[in-house]
Amino acid sequence: MPALDLPIAGAHRHKQPRVVGIDLGTTNSLVAYMDGDTPRVIPDEDGRRLLPSVVCFHADGSLTVGEAAKRRLTENAARTVYSVKRLMGRGLADVEAERCFLPYRLSEQHLDVVRIEIDGRLYSPPEVSACILKDLKRRAEAHLREPITQAVITVPAYFNDSQRQATRDAGRIAGLDVLRIVNEPTAACLAYGLHRAREGTVAVYDLGGGTFDISILKLQEGIFEVVATNGDTHLGGDDMDRRLAGCVLNEIRAAEGTDFADNPAFTEEVRIAAEIAKITLTDAEEAEIHLELPNGSLYYRTLLREEFEELAAPIVAQTLEPCRRALADAGLTPEEINEVILVGGATRVPLVRRRVEELFRKRPHSELNPDEVVALGAAVQAGILSGQVQGMLLLDVNPLSLGIETVGGAVEKIIPRNSTIPTGARQRFTTAVDGQISVDIHVLQGERELAKDNRSLARFQLRGIPPMPAGLPIIEVTFLIDENGLLTVTAREVRTSTEAHIEVKPSYGLTDAEVERMILESFEHAEEDVRVRQRVEAQTEADQVLAQAEKVLPLAAEFIAQGEMMEEERERIVQALEALRNVRQAEDAAVIRATLDEVEAVSRRFAERVLNHAVREAIAGKTLMEAARE
Amino acid sequence: MMDVVTEAKAVRVPSRRMWRCWACAEEVAATGEGTCPRCGKIQPLGAETDYFTALGLPRRMAIDRADLERRWHALSRRFHPDFYRTGEPRERIVALENTALLNRAYRALRDPIARAEYLVRLEEGAGTEIPSQPPQELFEEILEIQELLMDYRAAAPDERDARRPQLEARRQEIRREYERVERYLTQDLFPRWDPLSPEAAPSPTEKAVLLAEIKEAIGNRAYLRRVLNGLEEALSASGVD
């Protein structure tokens, strides 16, 4: 029987909702989708593909995101947030070293989760990231003309659990169901491997604005297996800009007796000039830096590529050690790597290319735009999850070992780094005192021997242990790292088979309640979002109805000829459809909805007839076929 | 933030070799394809399943790496959570737990030493300790090295250079020992294990003696690795500070 799927108003077609891929970057963010079997970046209305990861919070409570916010960086430095990715999932102590570079303020009161303070209001990094995600979401909805609620978001491979959780929280606050957190270098490899029957080992060197990752993958019959990953979450192209800006400021100080450190707008201007010079030196042998100083004098200098490379060399050198460690973990020599892929804007720097080529002894690939390849790969993974892309499977790893604190402050590793995820481990604990009914467990992430040198993930308490003599209870704790690299914990007392209660206090990160509150707040502050979404939904439905009507309306003539339908009824339907066509562009969803209801009311009987007609046809067809068989 | 998940438990049917499908209650053989023959839903491999069984291999030391990888890939294609994203919650837990088990199994079996450690624990119980200990004949030698290392770390940077050649010589010596123990394990001891399969009806003492030898050699190797790491760390750090 043919599918009787008639999306005349009110009847919805069942379709897998589209999943988009998002690269939430330190400097720029992008959104991409699978157009058939090709991943494509979604541009904004002006055709721009990169969204600067910059959010400006205005005094009146409104905000600006992207290019417009970036333009305000110098005039509005203290209320414009950039590089928020460097703060994701971090505590105040973690970001001490770079606080001095940030023109915006961090609250002194919040030690566990960094808060940005603007006009006395506090913003957590996931909230700021959510502003960027919402903008990308709107961009995708406008382009694809359908509501977008599901996404795959990429993170640096070397992000720890807190940083991944913070990214997922940002998605939730932005109204996105984050189906998967994918590692950036792995995503890039997916984009490169999509239409090529590639086999062999691939190294992905990913130097972004603020993070560095190296991943080594084995490709075999559509399976992308990550064998080792390493990196540094605080190393990137930004550091080159800072070194260059520092050098310029030194020269200004030497000439003028001051570097105007009390003028954040000027410091910001110098940083931007440094970034522009770095980009110029990708193709040119020299770049010019012009600055008008706050005291009215001028600063001018020509920067040779060699001079810049001298400044950038220590940063590039720092990336090579993680590469060697990843090779060692993979048990491979540089010669055994078949291909090298470059990802991230900072890999445009010629010095980076030379050093990578020297290390792996082969010319790296850069056919795909290094700024876009991660988003394209995220779209591929989105396609795998929605069933749109077949035959590919990504097997990724956890970047850092997971351990628990033992007596004396040492760490016992229970899941080693570079284990394919999902994975898990079971660990048995017991009590130290007679009648003890709870046990405290401290979970850590990192490679160091002592608990204090590793990243604290969470402390939790196993409770509800039946009172027994010391050492008798056997508490079995199961640690499970899921396909997103996120940890879940369960516990059970083995002798009595009772489930123990676990109370988890994340060491760094928002609690569920905080995230819920932020989601609510974000909706209060973003009625606009809801309106846009409702409008897009209504418009999409209107388009479907109009398209379907065009297909079935010719049947009306047939029904009228057979006396089953009156000419006036058809007139009413045609008029209602005409009205729908006119209001389709309306700004207000309610107007479109009302017209859709009208169409549904006047066409209900016609729709029933179309349905009966289709059933009759189908039955007739079946009978004929049966007849033919006999 | 962590969530608490509940394990998907298969209901054990009295016969013990059979399970009931969690979705349609059909009886499913525990050693089957991992899917229910009636409704086609994936079935839990079960947390108690050993790594060899999970990957469909006999309990042997000798494993063909390429075959192991093929099995792991094929089972990943069957169970990976990516393919059950829109499935019911129970099905998604089965996919997650099965894949986690397979990934652990693959990691443990692909490396010969980890495989031997796992076999020892299968034979003697999950809690079996394999103590890391120095080889008897190297006991004094290692004591000397620890003292040398202590002096070296305490020495002033300019004095260290003079001591380096001595440490370097010890490092090469320990590396040779480490490689010797590893060869002894993989080339002498491991090949003696497989002929002792249950079908060959080995005597319990024969098996126990071999297991004890394997455990000792694994413990020696682990100990030597630690000494070697200490030496390498000291030698590589000296240039910097």
ipTM of the complex: 0.81
Q: What is the rounded average pLDDT of the residues B85-103?
A: 91
Task: Decide if pLDDT at B9 tops 60.
Answer: no
CA-based nearest distance B203→chain A, Å? 33
Can you tell me the distance from the alpha carbon of B190 to that of B112, in angstroms, rounded to the nearest whole number? 9
Q: Which residues of A touch B74 (CB under 8 A)?
A: none
**What confidence score (pLDDT) does residue B32 get?**
59
**What confidence score (pLDDT) does residue A9 get?**
39
pLDDT, one tens digit per residue, over B105-145 is 999 999 999 999 999 888 888 778 888 888 888 888 888 88
A425 with B3: Cβ contact below 8 A: no
Secondary structure element (H or E) that encloses residue A480, with its range = strand A475-481
A579 touching B, CB under 8 A?
Answer: no
**What confidence score (pLDDT) does residue B156 get?**
83
Q: CB A314: neighbour CB atoms within 10 A?
A: 11
Quick check: A565 and A609 in contact, CB under 8 A? Answer: yes
Q: Which residues of A touch B7 (CB under 8 A)?
A: 478, 490
Can you tell me the distance from the alpha carbon of A168 to that of A159, in angstroms, rounded to the nearest whole number? 12
Name the token pair of A401. Answer: 């070992």
Q: Residue A543: what residue type?
A: D
Q: Give me the architecture of the A526-629 domain, per CATH.
A: Up-down Bundle (1.20)
**What confidence score (pLDDT) does residue A305 get?**
94
Query: Which among B82, B96, B103 is the nearest to A420, CB-wise?
Result: B103
B105 contact partners, CB below 8 Å, separation of at least 6: B51, B52, B54, B55, B72
Q: Where does residue A529 rank: exposed (0-12), middle (13-18), buried (19+ CB within 10 A)?
A: middle
A-B contacts (CB, under 8 Å): 80
Return the biggest CA–CA distance within chain A: 103
B4 with A512: Cβ contact below 8 A: no
**What confidence score (pLDDT) does residue A526 get?**
55
B85 touching A, CB under 8 A?
Answer: yes
A512 touching B, CB under 8 A?
Answer: yes
A251 touching B, CB under 8 A?
Answer: no
- Work out the percent of chain B whose per-residue pLDDT is above 90: 30
Conformation bin of residue B203: beta by default, left when phi > 0, alpha when psi is -120 to 50:
beta
CA-based nearest distance A161→chain B, Å? 9
B82 with A385: Cβ contact below 8 A: yes
Higher pLDDT, B199 or B238: B199
Can you tell me the distance from the alpha carbon of A134 to that of A171, in angstroms, rounded to the nearest whole number? 9
**What confidence score (pLDDT) does residue A32 get?**
97
Q: Is A23 a catalytic residue?
A: yes
Q: Which residue of B has its CA nearest to A507?
A: B1
Quick check: A498 and A466 in contact, CB under 8 A? Answer: yes
Q: Which residue of B has its CA nearest to A511?
A: B1
Q: Is A184 a catalytic residue?
A: yes
B66 touching A, CB under 8 A?
Answer: no
Domain boundaries defined on chain A: 19-236+313-395, 237-312, 402-516, 526-629
pLDDT, one tens digit per residue, over B11-57 is 433 444 667 888 788 777 765 567 888 888 888 887 778 999 999 99
CA-based nearest distance A572→chain B, Å? 42
**What confidence score (pLDDT) does residue A500 get?**
64
Tokens 């959570």 sit on residue: B81
| Burial call A545-580: b when 16+ CB within 10 Å, e when fewer | beebbeebbeebeebeeeeebeeebbebbeebbeeb
B226 touching A, CB under 8 A?
Answer: no
**What confidence score (pLDDT) does residue A620 get?**
62
Q: Is A206 a catalytic residue?
A: yes
Quick check: A13 and A544 in contact, CB under 8 A? Answer: yes
Among the CATH numbers 3.90.640.10, 3.40.50.170, 2.40.10.220, 3.30.1330.10, which is that of A237-312?
Answer: 3.90.640.10
Q: Which residues of B touch A430 (CB under 8 A)?
A: none
Q: Give me the architecture of the B11-110 domain, per CATH.
A: Orthogonal Bundle (1.10)
| Burial call A400-410: b when 16+ CB within 10 Å, e when fewer | bbbbbbeeeee
Write out the CATH class of domain A402-516: mainly beta
Name the token pair of A618. Answer: 């189908």
Quick check: A269 and A74 in contact, CB under 8 A? Answer: yes
CATH of domain A19-236+313-395: 3.30.420.40
Can you tell me the distance from the alpha carbon of A421 to that of A157, in angstroms, rounded to the nearest whole number? 13
**CA proximity to A182, closest of A203, A200, A155:** A155
* Strand-strand pairing, A487-493 and A498-499: antiparallel
CA distances in angstroms from A270 to A55, A244, A251, A265, listed in the order given: 20, 9, 12, 9
Catalytic residue among A135, A141, A146, A206: A206
A465 contact partners, CB below 8 Å, separation of at least 6: A431, A436, A437, A438, A439, A473, A475, A493, A498, A500
Q: Where are the alpha helices (H) located in chain B, listed in sequence order?
A: 51-54, 65-79, 89-110, 112-124, 139-154, 157-183, 190-193, 204-237
A488 contact partners, CB below 8 Å, separation of at least 6: A479, A480, A482, B2, B3, B4, B5
A424 with B100: Cβ contact below 8 A: yes
B103 with A419: Cβ contact below 8 A: yes
Quick check: A126 and A64 in contact, CB under 8 A? Answer: no
Can you tell me the distance from the alpha carbon of A570 to that of A602, in angstroms, rounded to the nearest whole number? 9
* C-alpha gyration radius of chain A: 29
Q: Residue B3: what residue type?
A: D
Quick check: A149 and A175 in contact, CB under 8 A? Answer: yes
Residues of chain A with pLDDT under 50: 1-14, 623-625, 627-630
Per-residue DSSP letters for B56-103? Answer: T--S-S---HHHHHHHHHHHHHHH-GGGGTTS-HHHHHHHHHHHHHHH
